[in-house]
Amino acid sequence: MRIVTIGNGNVGGGLARLWTRAGHDVTALGSEGGDASDADAIAVAVPGGAIRDALAKVKGIEGKPTVDATNSLTGPPEGYPSLAAQVKSIVGGPTIKAFNTNFAMLYDQISQQRVAPHSVFASDAEARTLAERLIGDAGFQPLYVGDLSAAPTLEAQIAFTMLLGGGEVGPYFYRFATTDL
């Protein structure tokens, strides 16, 4: 697949590395923006408060399937239930909320784990298969929690993620177990 990441920092640059290793053709755009016309999917990996500005600098995003990995410590932008909803309102394509609960600094250690760590995601129905592929190709096991109405809950995890990651455990992978395992 051809993938454009909007943002080339920890998350955008990191996902670009992982997806390239999985055989995708990935372009990671920095803050100067660029062209996503040829992309089969785009990933948004900029600060939550920079979404509108960053997307305005990228041509050809309209209607593209989109993975939103953003977080914000101040909650969603005014007028939107979630950052993912803001992304969707601008791009207009099927939208996925993913990777926002996983530490980018651990991406290079995913493949060394005994079992694949989970990555919780929410998705529009028509993008669920794509989400599972992109999350799987990054090395995580995708864990679906519902449609995009679940995005506010995933975004609200940032406080817990920082609390736990900044404490005794440090940056962590996670994996949930069901009671019948």
Ligand X SMILES: NC(=O)c1ccc[n+]([C@@H]2O[C@H](COP(=O)([O-])OP(=O)(O)OC[C@H]3O[C@@H](n4cnc5c(N)ncnc54)[C@H](OP(=O)(O)O)[C@@H]3O)[C@@H](O)[C@H]2O)c1
For residues 47 and 60, which CB has a smaller minimum distance to ligand X in the complex? 47
Nearest distance from C-beta of residue 144 to ligand X, angstroms? 18
For residues 34 and 136, which CB has a smaller minimum distance to ligand X in the complex? 34
For residues 108 and 126, which CB has a smaller minimum distance to ligand X in the complex? 108
Nearest distance from C-beta of residue 126 to ligand X, angstroms? 24
Cβ neighbourhood burial of 12 (10 Å; 0-12, 13-18, 19+): buried
Supply 180's token pair. 């019948």
Nearest distance from C-beta of residue 118 to ligand X, angstroms? 14
For residues 13 and 180, which CB has a smaller minimum distance to ligand X in the complex? 13
Nearest distance from C-beta of residue 33 to ligand X, angstroms? 6
For residues 148 and 179, which CB has a smaller minimum distance to ligand X in the complex? 148
Give the interface with ligand X as residue ranges (CB under 6 A): 7-12, 30-31, 45-48, 50, 53-54, 57, 69-71, 99-100, 103-105
Return contacts of 88-93, CB within 8 angstroms, 24+ apart.
Answer: 88/124, 88/148, 90/51, 90/52, 90/55, 90/61, 91/42, 91/55, 91/61, 91/62, 91/63, 91/64, 91/66, 92/62, 92/63, 93/62, 93/63, 93/64, 93/65, 93/66, 93/127
Query: Max alpha carbon distance in the chain (Å)?
Result: 49
Nearest distance from C-beta of residue 45 to ligand X, angstroms? 5
